[in-house]
Amino acid sequence: MSGEAQSAAQYIQHHLQNMTYGQFPEGHAQAGQWGLAKSAEVAKEMGFMAIHVDTMFWSIFLGALFLFLFRKVAKTATAGIPGGMQNFVEMVVEFVDSTVKGAYNGRNPFIAPMALTIFVWVFLINFMDLIPVDWLPMFAGWIGSTVFGMEPHDVYFRVVPSTDPNATFGMALAVFVVTLYYSVKMKGGLGFAKELTMHPFESKNIVIKVILMPINFVLEFVALLARPLSLSLRLYGNMFAGEMIFILIALMYGGGIAVGIFGGFLQLGWAIFHILIITLQAYIFMILTIVYMDLAYQTSEDH
């Protein structure tokens, strides 16, 4: 049983490890050189400058796929009877447009395209979780062994970028920077500073107002930092939990025919339910981005 437990643990750890490219640490046989880590320990020691190749590849590929498909539909759009793809794209665009109109009170032609990009891109990234957990990692292992001469178990390959906190924090940080930019642009540096120091506690007495300023700043600054943290951790936590369940269900296929059949039904049921989760998480990321942008346009008088 201990051997089986260890085998299951190794299986889970292998599926949760990213393909990491970086500089080998001191003490390694290839210290100072750059290459792919063959263990989680080496990947961790590569430090901040290491790159998760699989996360970068799928993020860029799915983003490019989104741009290609929507651009193709836009170029071939017809006023007559639209095809299935045009119908789908128009439905998504109308959905995002109505959401922006309902949650955003300012005027900025940048908001709707940004919301559309976030919704579709995050959805496509999340959708990768519906691909059976072994298919693409096994294919990557085959490529690594036949093309690069690597051992298959040394090839790590995760296909869901949103289960990598680096990806979710990166997207949330980009949204955070954009909201900060528009906050300063619309309110001015002094107006933005007043927003951080004059609320939520106010007083007409100058002395009390000065005393309350650092308290207000701490509260508002924490609330400000909570935005990218909540965006990133919510998406990461939900998608990581979903991926873990798929991995645990996949382990059941090695438990015999009866357990494997039961695992197949579980996988189908969880996949159907997970369609709702991946769509909901993409929507939540989009709607919170719109709300944060709306807050960036609000002046201190609106609070």
Residues assigned a catalytic role: 230, 234, 238
d(CA 175, CA 177): 6
Tell me the sheet residues that pair with 23: 34
Tell me the sheet residues that pair with 36: 21
Q: Which two tokens stand for residue 43?
A: 């990947």
d(CA 35, CA 22): 6
The 8 Å CB, 24+ separation contacts for 97-105 are 99/286, 99/287, 99/290, 100/290, 103/287, 103/290, 103/291, 103/294, 104/290, 104/293, 104/294, 105/294, 105/297
d(CA 130, CA 246): 9
Q: CB-hemisphere CA count at 13 Å for 100? A: 21
Burial 67-84 (b: 16+ CB within 10 A, else e): eeebeebeeeeeeeeeee
